[in-house]
Amino acid sequence: MAFSHLASSLVLLTLTSSSLFFLQPHPTNADSLITCNFDRIYNFGDSLSDTGNLIREKPIGPTTAYARLPYGETFFKHTTGRCSNGRLMIDFIAQASGLPFLNPYLEKDADFKHGVNFAVAAAAALTTEDLAKMNVIDTLTNSSLAVQLDWMSKQCIIERGFDGETTQKACCGIGGDYNFDVTNMCSSEVPVCPDPNRFISWDGIHLTEAAYKRMAEWLIVDVVPKLQCCN
C-alpha cells in the first residue's frame, strides 16, 4: 500500500493481490482510516479486489461464475462481479476511510469521484506477451498490471479536465492521427482547436498552458517540498 499527494488531494493507492494473505492482520478500529482524510482510492489487483471489472470484459467475463449468484448473495443480494459472497478487503478499506465502495473502471458512466478500482479477477502482474514467452496463457483476462496502470493514466488525464480522446493530438496543427505534420506545423496558417484547455499537446512538440500548469502544480505541491529547501 502506498500513499501519495496528488495536487492537493490525498490519495490512497492500493495493490491488493494474493500476497496480502501473508500479512499478519492487526486488530483495528473499523473507522480508523477516517482521520487520514483520503479523498479517493485507486486500487490495482486481481480477484481479491475486483469489484466488477472481469464480468464486464466481453466475451469471456460475463460467462464466468462470478457474474451470477451465489456470488454476492450475503451482502449485496445480487452479483456485483466480486469473487466472494459479500464484501472484499478493498470494500472494508473504503468503508473505514468513510468513502463509498469503489466502482470498477469498466462500468460505463460510473461515479469515480472517490476513486477507481482497476483490479481484474485473474489478472497477472506480467503482461500477456511476457507470459506467452513462458508458454503461460491467461484464459480469463489480458488486463495485467501494466494494462491497469495504463487505465489509471487515462483516468488521471480525464480527471484533470483533458479530453481522453485527444491526449495524443496537437491542438494547433493538421494532418495524420496526431494532428501533426512536420512539413506543416502550427502557425497562423493552420487550424487551432476550439478549447486548448482540453488538450495536453499544443503543437505536437510543446505542451499547452493547461498541461504546464498541472505539471507545475504537481512540482510545487508534491515534489519541491520533499527537497526540504523551502519550508
Ligand X SMILES: *[C@@H]1O[C@H](CO)[C@@H](O)[C@H](O)[C@H]1NC(C)=O
Nearer to ligand X, 99 or 124 (CB): 124
Cell 472494508 identifies what position? 92
Smallest separation, CB 222 to ligand X (Å): 36
Smallest separation, CB 128 to ligand X (Å): 5
Nearer to ligand X, 10 or 67 (CB): 67
Binding site for ligand X (CB under 6 A): 60, 128, 140-142
Smallest separation, CB 140 to ligand X (Å): 6
68 phi, psi to nearest 5 deg: -140, 160
Strand partners, 14: 43
5 phi, psi to nearest 5 deg: -95, 120
> Residues, the chain, total?
231
Nearer to ligand X, 140 or 200 (CB): 140
> What is the C-alpha to C-alpha distance for residues 6 and 11, in angstroms, rounded to an integer?
7
Nearer to ligand X, 36 or 132 (CB): 132
Smallest separation, CB 129 to ligand X (Å): 9
Nearer to ligand X, 128 or 155 (CB): 128
Smallest separation, CB 167 to ligand X (Å): 23
Contact 40, 113 (CB under 8 A): yes
Of all residues in the shown chain, the one whose CB is closest to ligand X is 142
* HEC readout, 62-81: HHCHHHCCCCCCCCCCCCCC
Contact 111, 40 (CB under 8 A): no
Q: DSSP assignment, residue 110?
A: -
